[in-house]
Amino acid sequence: MKPSRRIVLTLPLLLPGLARAQDQPIRLIVNGTPGSATDLLMRTLGEGLSRRLGRPVIADNRAGAGGFASALAARGAPADGTVLIQANIGVAALAPIVFRKPPIDPDRELLPVVHLTDTPFGLAVRPDAPGGGTLSGWLGAMRDRQGAAIAVNSATGLPRFAVHLLASQTGQPFTPVIYRSSGAMIPDLEAGHVPAGMTIGAEFIQQHRAGTLRLIAQSQGEGRWEAAAEVPRFNEEGVDFVGSAWNALFAPPGTPAALAETIAHEVTEVLAADATRARLLPLGLEPTGGQPAALTARIAADRARWAPVIKASGFIADEP
């Protein structure tokens, strides 16, 4: 049976030490600047949770630290449901295999609560790029040129390894060119200073719709990406490249399992609402949801999926 709203409101009274937390605001620690897609996701989630729970839910933006800012800010937070942490796949799943000494130990410092959104990776080129606007055509043109540089928007994030995966699956010597942010990378792509860019598809949505860049493939395993249904999958073009970036919600270690499960239920209800989907899908974010056990399994699966790619790249970071 799904938890009722009444159970959610009274749960702190049923769990030792949580009674004082019942009337306190819930703080969502967000790794993103105000106005970013992640910020809009978390503010949308906060508004929905506030309506369902009858309690204030406040977004607390903590950008920087290579994606680890939200997790670092949550150290020492109470394990009573009043503090929840947004983190992405790079922090929660991949940090132990990307960094010699990660800024946090995600398996010890982040308690999985609920998966929030998925977004595929996207490969973007200029509209006048060789290949006629298709992945197969562009790969053929790059093969004639013996490979190409592909811009990515992070030195240690997953887009870097997505380029290595594309290279291994196509047999072409693609090389990631590192930019500090999408804001720095996209103008160079539009100007033609680099042949292509790879990051989460959501980062290219605005330019794709405006016609200044063209998404020629995305990495969902099946179906179409609702944000840009016209963009084919890599595997439709014969390239075995499946994967996605994601956001999820975590709690401080020690949070009772029953409380985590109830929060997960409420979050999933918010994500399933038509109003939430209408707000997030145009941003390129696919709302998901689920229970803590499903998020734990997803972390393990993605760590296993990407570990061989990261190892084969020969890259390991000292710091974000």
Domains of the chain as residue ranges with CATH: 5-118+245-313 (3.40.190.150), 120-237 (3.40.190.10)
* For the chain, percent of residues with pLDDT exceeding 70: 93
Q: Please give the average per-residue pLDDT across 263-285, as a whole number.
A: 96
Residues 6+ apart with CB under 8 A from 131: 125, 137, 138, 139, 140, 141, 142, 216
Average pLDDT, the chain: 91
**Distance of CA 159 to CAs 181, 210, 310, Å?**
12, 23, 11
| pLDDT tier at 15, thresholds 50, 70, 90 | very low
| pLDDT tier at 36, thresholds 50, 70, 90 | confident
**Distance of CA 69 to CAs 31, 149, 268, Å?**
6, 30, 25
Q: Please give the average per-residue pLDDT across 186-208, as a whole number.
A: 95
Residue positions counted in the chain: 320
**Distance of CA 89 to CAs 7, 194, 229, 289, Å?**
31, 26, 24, 15
Q: What is the pLDDT of residue 3?
A: 47
CA dist 151 and 236 (Å) reads 23
pLDDT for 52-97, tens place per residue?
988 899 999 998 777 899 999 999 999 999 999 999 999 999 999 9
Q: Please give the average per-residue pLDDT across 213-219, as a whole number.
A: 97
**Distance of CA 283 to CAs 14, 200, 264, 320, Å?**
39, 11, 23, 26
Q: Cα(first)–Cα(last) distance of the chain, in Å?
A: 43
